[in-house]
Structure formats: structure tokens, C-alpha cells
Amino acid sequence: MDLSLAIFVQIIAAVLLIIALMVGNAVVMVYMERKVAGFIQRRPGPYEVGPWGTIQAICDSMKLLAKQLYRPGNVDLILYYLAPVLAFFPVLLLFLPIPFGPWLTALHINEGIVLILAFAGLGVLSNLLAGWASNNKFSLLGAARAVAQTVAYEIPMILALLAVVFLSGSMDLKRITEQQGQWPWEWNILLQPLAFFIYLVSLVGETNRAPFDLPEAESELTAGFHTEYSGMGFALFFLSEYANMLLVSFVAAVFFLGGYKGPIADGFWWLFIKAYAVMFFMVWIRWTFPRVRFDQLLNLNWKWLLPLGLLNLWATAIIMKIFL
């Protein structure tokens, strides 16, 4: 009884902290994205508001809060208002199994990765609802593209993570972290480079980031499925997108980059550093490459990433059987 109460309290506290983490992450990511975009484009990015523009993101979120919630006529009311909420809340669940530190896991379950992968699919549902409910052909097209893309890119992701699961023999995120060492040459990335590469590509595809950002292709579909949202609805979509990015970066850090283990002292700081390095990489490629066309995107997935993932899995299994 006490134990389950303790776990219950632990989960509640974790959820609150995760909400704080998501919001804080959005603020930091908005700033990082705009600054990195600025410097790549030889301009400074935000720097008027606050020292070097650090308060810009907060001011933007206050602006979004204060905006009029404009709803076009003929929208499906329930779905229209449900979609951003549905985008935001499931992501909370996904942060629970992640081991932030040696003793900082919110929900230590044996099948952590299954929980994450299962609920990651809920995000696409919200995209679909938003696209349909907006009563707008551009949104509909964007939503249809988003569904096809997200469903497609989950599979190579699973295959890449499965290869690491083969290596460590368990789906528990903490075990996977513990089996990697402190130094970079002991991380899983050296043992599974192809899986890491496949995971990186499907990471970008899963979170709808450039160069795979067709659902929100700004120059073709004028913001795609969230065209008709303004103010808080848009903010929630944005927040959930960044939270999704953070989540998959955390998973990448845990599976391939050693999690919270690091050279000097193990702790949650290493996890954050690695996750933000992966996010920085995602921001970098967003501002470098043009967009991939939709059929090419799916081609890439079904014809290249999936066979490569299977090949990797097969090779891992054979090598493990023979040598281990």
C-alpha cells in the first residue's frame, strides 16, 4: 500500500516536472532554433528583447496566450478544439520511462521502449484531427501527408531500436544505459552505426522536421494542418512538436549515446547535453536542406530505410549468435 502510494506520488511529481520540462524545452528550443537559423543566415537572430534576445521566447509565448482564439466557421467544433490538446498530452506519457539519472526514472518499467513507441503514434492522430476539422483543403492535404509519413517512419525507427535491444538483451531503458560505458568509445553508437544513422533519419521524419516537413510545408501548403489555428492552439502544436523532438532525442541519447553516463560524473546533465546535441543537429539540417518531395520521402522509407533496418537486424543477430 505504501509502496503503491509512493509510486503514485512519484508519478504525479514526475508528470508535473515533465510539464515544466516540456515548457522549458519549448522556450529553449525556440530560442536555439532562431539563433542558429540566424547565424547560419549571417544575421543575429533575436537580440533585442533581453540580453542577446533570451526573453524573446517568453514574450512570444505571452503573445500567443493573449491572441484571439479565432475559429473559422464550419469547423467541426469538438475535433477542432480537441486536436491541439490531443497533441500535447500524450507526449507526457512518453517521458515517463526515460532514465534521467541513475535514480531519476519516473516509471521504471521493463518494456519502456514499447511504451514509448506505442504512444508516439497518438501524435499523428492529432494531426489528422486538426487537418480534418479545419474545413480547409490545404489542411486536409497536410494532414493526409502527415499520417502517411508518420506511420511510415515509425517502422525503421523500431527496427533500429530493436537492434540495440538485441545487443543489450532487454527493453528496459535503464538496463540499456547501464550496459554502455562512460566514454564515447563504449557507447552503442560504435557497435551499431548503421542503426544510429537509420534512427537519425527516421527521427527527422517522425517529428515532421525539415527536410521532411511536408505536412507543414510552408511554401506549398501555408502551414498545412495547423493553418487555421492561432494563439493557444498553435502554441500547443508547437509545444508538442518540440516535446516530440526532445523525446526522440532523449531516446537516441539513451540508446546510442550512453544516456546519463559520461566521462567525469554520471548524471542527468549528460543526458541533456547529448539530447540537445542531437536537437542541434536537427535544427542545423533544417536550415540547410530543401524539402524532400512526398513520394520521394516515402520511397526513401520503404525502399531504403526499411531494408537497411532489416539487414542491420539480421546482421546483428548473426554476429551475436556466432560471436557471443
Partner 1 sequence: MTGCSLGFINPLSVLENPGTTAGDFYARNFEKKAQPGRVILNLGPQHPSTHGVLRVLCELDGEYVARCEPILGYLHRMHEKMGEVKTPWQFLPNLGRVDYLHPLAWNWAFVGAAEKLAGLTVPPRAEWLRIISCELNRISSHLLWWGAFVMDLGGFTPILYAFEEREKINDILQIITGSRLTMANFRFGGVCADGDARFFKLIQEFIPYLRERLKMYQGLVTDNVILRRRLEGVGPIDVDLCQRYGATGPILRAAGLPRDLRVDYPYGYYDQVELTIPTGPVNDSFGRYLVRLAEIETSLSIVERALKVIPDGPIIMEKAPKVSWKLPAGESYMAVEGARGQINVHLVSDGGKTPYRVKLRAPGFSNLSLFAEAAKGTLLADAIAILGSLDLVIPEIDR
Partner 2 sequence: MLKAIWDNIKGLYSLLVGMSITGRYLLSPVETIHFPRQVVDDEIMASFRGPIQLTLGKKDPTQTRCISCQMCAKACPGHCLTVTKGDAKAPIQWLYDFSYCCLCGACVETCPTGALEFSHKVYLVTVSRQELILDLLSDLKTRGTQLGNQIVPPVPPAAKEASPSVAPASPSAPATLAAPTSAPPAPETKTDPPKAAEIKPDAAKPAQTKEPAPASGSTDPVAASPAVNSATNNPATNNPATNIANDVKTGAPAQSEPKAQTVAPQELAPATKPETKANPVANKKIHDHSSRPAKKRGHK
Residues lying near partner 2 in the complex (CB under 8 A): 36, 38-44, 284-285, 287-289, 304
At closest approach, how far in Å is the CB of 220 from partner 1? 5
At closest approach, how far in Å is the CB of 44 from partner 2? 5
Of the candidate residues 70, 296, 318, 320, the single one contacting partner 1 (CB under 8 A): 296
Nearer to partner 1 (CB atom), residue 51 or residue 290: 290
What is the SS3 assignment for 182? coil
- One-character DSSP codes across 68-110: -----TT--HHHHHHHHHHHHSHHHHHTTT-B-STT-BSS--T
CA dihedral 31, 32, 34, 36 (to 10 degrees): 160
Task: Answer for the pair 287, 116: CB distance below 8 angstroms, yes or no.
Answer: no
At closest approach, how far in Å is the CB of 294 from partner 1? 6
Q: Residue 137, interface with partner 1 (CB under 8 A)?
A: yes
Total chain residues near partner 1 (CB under 8 A): 33
- 283 is written with which cell numbers? 535544427
Question: Which of partner 2, partner 1, none has residue 36 at its interface (CB below 5 to 8 Å by kind)?
Answer: partner 2
- Residue 4's Cβ-count burial label (10 Å; 0-12, 13-18, 19+) is exposed
Exposure on the CB side of residue 244, measured as CA atoms within 13 A:
28
Question: Which of partner 1, partner 2, none has residue 44 at its interface (CB below 5 to 8 Å by kind)?
Answer: partner 2
Report the alpha-carbon distance of residue 278 to residue 229 in Å, rounded.
29
Nearer to partner 1 (CB atom), residue 153 or residue 270: 153
Interface stretch with partner 1, choices 59-67, 189-197, 288-296, 309-317 (CB under 8 A): 288-296
Question: Which of partner 1, partner 2, none has residue 227 at its interface (CB below 5 to 8 Å by kind)?
Answer: partner 1
Of the candidate residues 121, 183, 220, 320, the single one contacting partner 1 (CB under 8 A): 220
Interface stretch with partner 1, choices 61-69, 237-245, 281-289, 309-317 (CB under 8 A): 281-289
Interface stretch with partner 1, choices 5-13, 17-25, 37-45, 186-194 (CB under 8 A): 37-45
Question: Which of partner 2, partner 1, none has residue 136 at its interface (CB below 5 to 8 Å by kind)?
Answer: partner 1
Binding to partner 1 in span 151-180, by CB under 8 A:
none
Report the alpha-carbon distance of residue 165 to residue 142 in Å, rounded.
34
Report the alpha-carbon distance of residue 195 to residue 137 in Å, rounded.
38
Nearer to partner 1 (CB atom), residue 8 or residue 304: 304
Q: Residue 4, interface with partner 1 (CB under 8 A)?
A: no
Exposure on the CB side of residue 206, measured as CA atoms within 13 A:
26
Q: Which residues contact 190 (CB under 8 A, 6 or more apart)?
A: 184
At closest approach, how far in Å is the CB of 225 from partner 1? 13
CA dihedral 116, 91, 198, 151 (to 10 degrees): 90
Interface stretch with partner 1, choices 154-162, 184-192, 214-222, 230-238 (CB under 8 A): 214-222
At closest approach, how far in Å is the CB of 74 from partner 1? 7
Task: State CA 187 to chain mean position distance.
Answer: 21
Nearer to partner 2 (CB atom), residue 17 or residue 285: 285
* SS3 labels along 6-56: HHHHHHHHHHHHHHHHHHHHHHHHHHHHHHHHHHHCCCCCCCCCCHHHCCH
Note the residues at the interface with partner 1 (CB under 8 A): 37, 40-43, 72, 74, 135-138, 140-141, 210-211, 213-214, 217-220, 222, 227, 287-296
